[in-house]
Structure 1
C-alpha cells in the first residue's frame, strides 16, 4: 500500500502534468462555434470572437489558426465584393477556363478607373499578408486540430448581408476548377492541423507574389482600350467622345477581337520595380513553407480527415499520396528554387525550338535565361518581344539548364496530373 507521505508528491506531479497538458489540449474546442459562424457567413463576428479569445489566451494555437483562416476568407470576400461592385466578369468572358469566377453578375455596376483596380489588388494583397503574419504566430509546438466543413462555409460576395445572396466556398472552388475532385464529394469536413498552417501560409505568399507581378507594371493603356472585357463601365484615362459599344459590348465576335487587341497591347511599362523582387521573395517563402509543411505532414501518425495526407493516411479528397509523389514534389521545389536563385537557367527557346515544327535536342552548353535577374533587374514587359526572344536578351547567360526533359520526368510521377497536384500541394 502506498504510504500517504509519498502520495502528495505523486499527486502534485500528476496535477502538474495534467495542467501542462491542458495548456495545449485542454482549451475549449472552438470548431463548433466557428463552423456555425462560417455557415452563416458571419466573418466579422467570427474574427471579433477569436480576437477576444486570443486576448485571454494569446498562445492558443487553434484560435490563432482560426483567426488566420477567417482573415484569408475575409480577404477573398472583400475582393469579391469589390469585383461585384464594378461588374467584373459579367460578360461571356467569364466562361473562359481561366476566368471562371463565381462573382455574381451585377446588372447595375459602378464606373471604375484603372487607379481603383490597382487599389483593389493592393488591398487584397495587404489583407493576405496580414493573414499570413497572423498564421506565422501559431505555435507549431502545440498539437491542435481545427475541424471545418468546406461544404458549408459561406461568403457574401455581393455585400448585401442576406443569406440567400451568399456563395459557398465549395461553389467558388468548383467554378474555377470544374473538373476537380472536390465537386463529387459530399463530405468535406476537414480536420486541419499543424502542417496545414504552413500550407496556408505558402498559399498566401503565392497569391501575394502574383499581386506583386501585376502591380509592378502599368496596365493603363491596356485598360483604356479593352477594359470592357472585365469591367462593363470602365473609364478611360483619355477623353472619349463616342463609346466603343452602344449595346454593352456583349457581342461575342467583338469580345474575341477585344481579346486579340489585349494580346497586342501587352506592352507594359515598368511602374513599381521593387515589386518584382518582392514577388521573388514571396515565391521563395512559398517553397520554404511547402517543405516545412510536408515535414510535419510526413511525421503524423493519426488518420483524421486529412487535407494533405501522408502515404499512411487517406485524406478527405480520397486521392492517394504515395512516397514517390512526395519525393517528386520535393524535386519540383528544388528545381523551382534553383531557377529563382539563378543557379539554373531557363533554356532559351530560339536555340532549340522551331516556330512551325518540333523541338531539337538542346545543345550542351547552350544559353539560358537567368530568372533571378528577371525579377531583380526588371524591364518593361512586351509579350511579342518576349516570344520573339529580344525581350529576354539582357538576361541570357551560359550555365546549367533546367531542361524540358527534367520537367517531363517530374511530370510522369504525377501521372499526367502535375498541375492538379501542384494547385493542391502548393
Structure 2
C-alpha cells in the first residue's frame, strides 16, 4: 500500500517529461485497460532486451498481476474484514469500491486458493525479470505515466468501467494526510483544499525499473514463504472471514448465543483466536523455503543498484525517489546525502541478518535467533511457539545480536520516520 501511495502522491510538480513512442504506447494501453494488447505490442522489443520496451512490458505485467488477483478475489466473493484499505485495493466489500461484492461467488477450496496465489506469484516473477531488463546498464529514458488513470478490470467482466481506475481506489484510501492538497478528489468529492487537478504523472526511468524489480522480488519472496507451507488448517478456521460466501467450513457459524458481548462479536473474536491457534504451518517445500535468503539478498542488491542509478541522475523530472539534488514528491520527507549513506549502511546490516552473521534478538534468550538456519532447516513454522520460545530453540546460537546500535545510522538520519523511508526506499 505504501508503494502505491508513493506513486499516487506524485502530483506536486509541473510536468516536464516528454513521452517517447514506447511511453505513449505504454500509457495508451494502461489508460485503456488493454493490458494484453499492450504487452503484445512491446513483446518484440522486450525479447530483444530493449530497456524501454522491457519497462513498458513489465509495468503492464504488474498491472495485469494486480488485475488477475482482484478478479480471483471477486470470483470467490473475497473481502477484507476490518481492513478497508485492502478491500478497496481489491475493489470489494467496502464503501465506494470500484465494483461491488460478487452476489454469486464460486465455492473456494484450499487447492484453488493456492492456485490463485501461485498465478499471482508467476505474474510477479515475469514482471520482475522485465523490470531488471528495464534498468540495464546504459539505459536512458524517461516515460511519463499518470498512474491515477490506469484502468483495471476488477471484476473480470471484460470491460473497464470509468470508475475502475487506480485513482478511484487510491485516493480515498490515502486520505488527506498522504495525498497532496492538489490531488484529484476521489469519487467526485472535493474534500481537499485548492482546485483539483487531473494529473498524477511520474517520470519513470531506469532507476525506477530497478526499484520496481526490488519491490516485486520482495513481494514474491513473501509469497514463496507462504507457499512453502501447508496452511490448510488456517484456511478452514479463519478464511471464511475473507471469503464469507464461498462455502468454507465455518461459513454462517456466527453463533446463536453469546459468551462475552453479542453473538456476532463473540464469533469474530473466536475466529481470531482460531486463526492464531492455526498459525502452525508444516513446511512442504524445503527447497522453496531455503531459497528465500537468496531472494532477500537480491532485494538488497537491487536497492544498492537503484541508488547507484539515482545518484547518477542530473535531471529532475518527477522522480519516484530523488537524489539529494532533486525534488522530493513527499512533503516533509527530504532525501539527503546523510540519509542515502544511512540507507546503504542499513542494507549491509540486513545482509548480515539474512546470512546469519548478525542474529535476531529473542526476548526470552541471551542467544540470538539465526534467520538463515531457520530458512535452511525448519520443518514447520508455528508463529506462537516461535514467539514463546520453544520452537526458537533449534535456531539459537552465540554471536553478535542486532540491536539499536546496529541501525544507529538509519535512526540518526531518519528518526521516527525510519519505517516510512524504509517502505519508500525498499
TM-score by length of 2: 0.81
Distance 1:74 1:264, change over 3 A: same
Q: Which residue among 38, 41, 44 is the counterpart of 2:33?
A: 41
Q: RMSD across aligned C-alpha pairs, in angstroms?
A: 2.7
Structure 2 distance, partners of 1:28, 1:100, is: 33
Structure 2 distance, partners of 1:231, 1:183, is: 35
Q: Determine if the alignment matches structure 1 residue 298 to structure 2 residue 311.
A: yes
> How far does residue 417 in structure 1 lie from its aligned partner after superposition?
1.8
Q: Which residue among 88, 91, 95 is the counterpart of 1:103?
A: 91
Structure 2 distance, partners of 1:317, 1:417, is: 12
Distance 1:329 1:299, change over 3 A: same
Structure 1 distance, partners of 2:425, 2:29, is: 28
Structure 2 distance, partners of 1:399, 1:165, is: 57
> How far does residue 221 in structure 1 lie from its aligned partner after superposition?
1.2
Structure 2 distance, partners of 1:177, 1:185, is: 14
Structure with max Cα Rg: 1
Q: Secondary structure at the match of 1:154?
A: coil
Q: Which residue among 226, 242, 249 is the counterpart of 1:214?
A: 226
Indicate the residue corresponding to 2:349 in structure 1: 335
Q: Which residue among 253, 267, 270 is the counterpart of 1:244?
A: 253
Q: Which residue among 209, 212, 218 is the counterpart of 1:197?
A: 209
> How far does residue 419 in structure 1 lie from its aligned partner after superposition?
2.1
> How far does residue 277 in structure 1 lie from its aligned partner after superposition?
1.7
Structure 2 distance, partners of 1:179, 1:349, is: 38
Deviations 1:127-160 (A, max 9, x none): 1111122223333313111111112112111112
> How far does residue 185 in structure 1 lie from its aligned partner after superposition?
5.2
TM-score by length of 1: 0.81
| 1:102-251 → structure 2 map (5 Å cutoff) | 102-104=90-92, 105-138=101-134, 139-164=136-161, 167-173=164-170, 181-182=178-179, 184=181, 186=183, 187-235=199-247, 244-245=253-254, 251=264
Structure 2 distance, partners of 1:217, 1:244, is: 27
Q: Which residue among 309, 323, 326 is the counterpart of 1:310?
A: 323
Deviations 1:40-61 (A, max 9, x none): 2111121111125557xx3432
Q: Is the 8 A contact 2:323 2:336 kept in 1?
A: yes
Deviations 1:285-340 (A, max 9, x none): 01000000101101111111111100000044454211122122112211111000
Aligned residues: 378
Indicate the residue corresponding to 1:51 in structure 2: 43
Q: Secondary structure at the match of 1:127?
A: helix
Q: Determine if the alignment matches structure 1 residue 323 to structure 2 residue 323.
A: no
> How far does residue 372 in structure 1 lie from its aligned partner after superposition?
0.7
Indicate the residue corresponding to 1:268 in structure 2: 281
Structure 2 distance, partners of 1:347, 1:175, is: 39
Q: Secondary structure at the match of 2:83?
A: helix
Q: Is the 8 A contact 2:346 2:409 kept in 1?
A: no
Structure 2 distance, partners of 1:171, 1:283, is: 33
Distance 1:179 1:286, change over 3 A: farther
Distance 1:225 1:142, change over 3 A: closer
Structure 2 distance, partners of 1:185, 1:291, is: 33
> How far does residue 281 in structure 1 lie from its aligned partner after superposition?
1.6
Q: Secondary structure at the match of 1:298?
A: helix
Q: Is the 8 A contact 1:109 1:232 kept in 2?
A: no
> How far does residue 244 in structure 1 lie from its aligned partner after superposition?
2.4
Structure 2 distance, partners of 1:282, 1:143, is: 27
Q: Determine if the alignment matches structure 1 residue 399 to structure 2 residue 399.
A: yes
Distance 1:380 1:183, change over 3 A: farther
Q: Secondary structure at the match of 2:230?
A: coil
